[in-house]
C-alpha cells in the first residue's frame, strides 16, 4: 500500500488543475469525476487553478515532477497528435521548467566535489540559464578560460521518483493481472526497464560516461558533435561540460535566417539515428528538441549537436538483427518475410498462420508507402500495427520500447524540419548497405578472426559446456539412465559370478567333510551331542548364510 500517498497527491493535483476536462465526453469521464469528488468536497475546489486548460496541464506536470514532465516532453514533439496550442505550451517543458532556488549552486559544488568553486572557476553564474525535469544548468568559465556549463541534479528528486515508481508499478500490476491486454503489454517489465533508465538519469557520472562514449563514436564526424566532459570536476551530482554554441533545433526562424538546408538536415538526422542503432548499437534515447542543437557553421551541410545523454539505449544482437530485417522487409513490401521474421524471433506465437499474418501486415503498411512524412504518422502506424498484431497474440517487447520512443522523437523532429521528407527512400539505402556489409565475406572473415582468441580461451571449458548443453536439451538424463542400467547389469553379472564361486567353495568343503567322515565319526563318539549340534550350526552360518 506504499503507493497510496502518491496516488492521493496525484488525484489532488488532477482535481486542483481540473484536468478531467481533457476527457470530457470520453469513456470513463464520469468515473473520474466521481473519484475526484472527495477532493472537491474537502475544499480543494477553492484552490483550483483557472485559466487556459493547456496552461493548467503544463503547470500540473511541473508540479507532479520529472516522470510527468518527461511525458509532456514526448507529447510536445507529436504535433500530429495534439492541438498546436497544446504542443506549444508543452514545449516549454523541454528546458524551461521553473528552477529550484535552494541550495545555492556554490553550496552544491562544494558539497559534491569537496572543493571551493573559486578553486575551479574564474566565473560562475548564480542563476541557471536552463532548467529541465531532473536538473538545471549554469554558465561558467574554468581557470584555464575554457567556457563550460555546470549541470546539477535537483535536490530531493530521488524521493519523488521513488514514490512515482511505486505508483506506476501498482498500476502496471493491475493492468497485467486484471486485463487480457496486460498479458501482452508486459507493463510490469516495462516499468522495471524505465526504473533502471530513470535512476541512471539521476546519476550525472553515468551521463558523463555516456556522453564520452557517444563523443568517441562520432569523433571527427561532420554530422554530429558531442561536447567534451571535464571529468576532474564532475561527480554523481555535478557535471561540467564544454559549452556549445548552436541553434535549438526547434528554432525554425533562426535556422531559416542562416539559410540552413532543411532537407539535408532532416536526412542527416535519419542517418544519425540508423548509425547509432545498427552500427554503434548505442543510441541517444532522449532526442526531444530541447536536447538537440544545430551548429552555426556550414549551414548548407548542417551538423547536429547532442547534449543530455543520460538515457542511452542498446539492443541485443538478436533484436538488432531482427529489427533491421523487419524494417528492410517492410520497406521492400515483402510482407511474407515480415510474417516469417515475427514468428522466427518469437514476437508472435509459433502456431501463427503465416499467410494470415502476412495479409494483416499488408493491409496496415501498404497505404503508407510513397507518401511524404507529413502524410505519415509513425505513431498512428505503431498503434495500427499493434492492434492488428494483437489478433495474433503479439506481445510487447520491453527491450524495444525505448527504441520506439526514440522513433517517435525522430519522426516529430523530422516533421518540424522538413515535412516533405520521404523517410522510406532515405532509410532504405542505409538498410540495404547494412545488409550488404553484414554479408560481405571479408567482414564475416574479420568477425571469425576476432572470435578465434575467445574460442581458444573456451576450449578447456568445452567438455563442461557440452555437458551443460546436453542437460538443457534433456539428453544428459537419458545418458545417465543408460549408464545406470548398464551398471546394474554389470553388478548383477558380478553377483552371479560371486555366488557361483561361493557355491563351488561350499561343494569343495562338503567333499572334504565327506572324506573325513570316518575320522570324524570316531572322534564324535567322545564329544557331547550339544557340542556337535553347535558345530553344525556354526558351519551353516559360515557357509550358507550371506
Q: What is the CA radius of gyration of the chain?
A: 37
* Torsion angle, alpha carbons of 290, 294, 296, 298, to 10: 180
Scored b (16 or more CB within 10 A) or e, 16-31 reads bbbbbeeeeeeeeeee
d(CA 395, CA 266): 32
- Distance CA(537)–CA(155), nearest Å, equals 95
**Residues recorded for the chain:** 546
Beta bridge partners of 29: none
Q: Across the strands, what pairs with 190?
A: none
DSSP string, 222-235: SSEE-PPB-GGG--
286 is catalytic: yes
Query: End-to-end CA distance of the chain, in Å?
Result: 69
Write 52-56 long-range contacts (CB < 8 A, 24+). Answer: 52/89, 53/18, 53/19, 53/21, 53/22, 54/83, 54/85, 54/86, 54/89, 54/90, 55/89, 56/17, 56/18, 56/19
What phi and psi, each to the nearest 5 degrees, are found at residue 234? -125, 155
Q: Which of 380, 342, 375 is nearest to 361 (CA)?
A: 342
Q: Which of 112, 114, 200, 96 is nearest to 150 (CA)?
A: 112
Return the beta strands (E) in 303-352 as ranges.
304-306, 312-313
Alpha-helical (H) ranges within 232-308 are 252-257, 262-274
What cell was used for 404? 520506439
3-state SS, residue 350: coil
User: Which of 273, 502, 256 shows the shortest CA–CA distance to 407?
Assistant: 273
Catalytic-role residue among 286, 308, 468, 522? 286
Q: The C-alpha cell of 128 is what?
A: 541557471
Answer whether 15's CB lies under 8 Å from 32's CB: no
SS3 state at 27: coil
Element (H, E) at 138: strand 135-142
- For residues 78 and 378, what is the distance between their CA atoms, to the nearest angstrom? 10
Q: Are 133 and 69 in contact, with CB atoms under 8 Å apart? A: yes
Which 3 state secondary structure label does DSSP give 520? helix
CA 319 to chain centre: 11
Q: Which residues are catalytic?
A: 286
Amino acid at each position: 500500500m506504499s503507493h497510496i500517498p502518491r496516488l492521493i497527491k496525484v488525484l489532488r493535483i488532477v482535481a486542483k488543475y481540473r484536468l478531467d476536462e481533457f476527457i470530457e465526453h470520453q469513456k470513463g469521464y464520469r468515473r473520474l469525476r466521481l473519484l475526484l469528488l472527495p477532493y472537491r468536497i474537502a475544499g480543494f475546489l477553492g484552490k483550483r487553478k483557472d485559466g487556459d486548460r493547456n496552461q493548467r496541464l503544463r503547470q500540473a506536470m511541473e508540479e507532479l515532477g520529472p516522470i510527468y514532465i518527461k511525458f509532456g516532453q514526448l507529447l510536445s514533439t507529436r504535433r500530429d497528435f495534439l492541438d498546436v496550442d497544446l504542443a506549444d505550451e508543452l514545449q516549454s517543458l523541454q528546458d524551461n521548467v521553473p528552477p529550484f532556488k535552494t541550495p545555492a549552486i556554490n553550496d552544491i559544488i562544494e558539497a559534491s566535489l569537496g572543493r571551493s568553486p573559486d578553486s575551479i572557476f574564474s566565473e560562475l553564474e548564480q542563476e541557471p540559464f536552463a532548467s529541465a525535469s531532473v536538473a538545471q544548468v549554469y554558465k561558467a568559465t574554468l581557470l584555464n578560460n575554457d567556457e563550460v556549463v555546470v549541470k546539477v541534479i535537483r535536490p530531493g528528486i530521488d524521493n519523488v521518483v521513488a514514490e512515482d515508481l511505486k505508483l506506476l508499478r501498482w498500476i502496471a500490476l493491475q493492468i497485467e493481472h486484471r486485463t487480457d491486454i496486460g498479458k501482452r503489454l508486459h507493463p510490469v517489465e516495462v516499468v522495471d526497464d524505465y526504473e533502471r533508465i530513470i535512476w541512471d538519469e539521476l546519476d550525472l557520472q553515468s551521463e558523463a560516461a555516456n556522453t564520452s562514449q557517444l563523443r568517441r563514436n562520432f569523433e571527427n564526424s561532420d554530422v554530429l558533435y558531442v561536447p567534451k566532459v571535464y571529468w576532474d570536476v564532475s561527480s554523481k551530482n555535478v557535471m561540467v561540460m564544454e559549452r556549445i554554441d548552436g541553434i535549438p533545433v526547434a528554432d525554425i526562424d533562426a535556422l531559416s535566417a542562416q539559410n540552413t538546408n532543411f532537407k539535408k538536415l532532416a536526412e542527416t538526422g535519419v542517418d544519425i539515428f540508423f548509425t547509432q542503432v545498427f552500427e554503434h548499437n548505442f543510441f541517444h534515447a532522449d532526442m526531444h528538441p530541447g536536447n538537440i542543437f544545430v551548429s552555426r557553421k556550414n549551414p548548407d551541410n548542417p551538423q547536429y549537436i547532442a547534449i543530455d545523454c543520460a538515457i542511452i539505449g542498446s539492443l541485443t544482437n538478436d533484436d538488432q538483427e531482427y529489427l533491421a530485417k523487419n524494417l528492410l522487409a517492410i520497406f521492400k513490401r515483402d510482407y511474407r518475410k515480415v510474417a516469417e521474421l515475427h514468428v522466427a524471433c518469437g514476437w508472435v506465437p509459433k502456431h501463427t498462420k503465416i499467410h494470415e499474418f502476412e495479409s494483416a501486415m499488408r493491409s496496415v503498411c501498404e497505404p503508407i508507402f510513397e507518401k511524404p512524412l507529413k502524410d505519415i504518422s509513425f505513431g498512428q502506424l505503431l498503434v495500427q500495427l499493434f492492434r492488428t498484431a494483437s489478433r495474433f497474440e503479439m506481445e510487447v517487447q520491453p527491450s524495444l520500447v525505448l527504441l520506439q520512443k526514440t522513433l517517435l522523437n525522430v519522426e516529430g523532429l523530422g516533421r518540424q524540419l522538413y515535412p516533405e521528407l520521404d523517410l522510406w527512400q532515405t532509410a532504405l539505402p542505409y538498410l540495404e548497405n547494412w545488409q550488404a556489409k553484414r554479408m560481405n565475406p571479408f567482414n564475416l572473415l574479420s568477425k571469425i578472426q576476432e572470435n578465434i582468441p575467445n574460442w581458444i580461451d573456451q576450449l578447456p571449458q568445452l567438455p563442461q559446456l557440452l555437458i551443460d548443453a546436453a542437460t538443457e536439451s534433456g539428453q544428459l538424463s537419458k545418458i545417465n539412465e543408460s549408464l545406470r542400467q548398464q551398471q546394474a547389469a554389470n553388478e548383477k553379472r558380478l553377483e552371479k559370478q560371486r555366488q557361483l564361486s561361493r557355491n563351488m567353495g561350499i561343494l569343495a568343503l562338503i567333499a572334504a567333510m565327506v572324506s573325513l567322515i570316518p575320522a570324524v565319526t570316531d572322534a564324535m563318539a567322545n564329544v557331547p551331542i550339544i557340542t556337535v549340534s553347535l558345530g553344525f550350526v556354526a558351519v551353516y552360518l559360515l557357509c550358507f548364510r550371506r
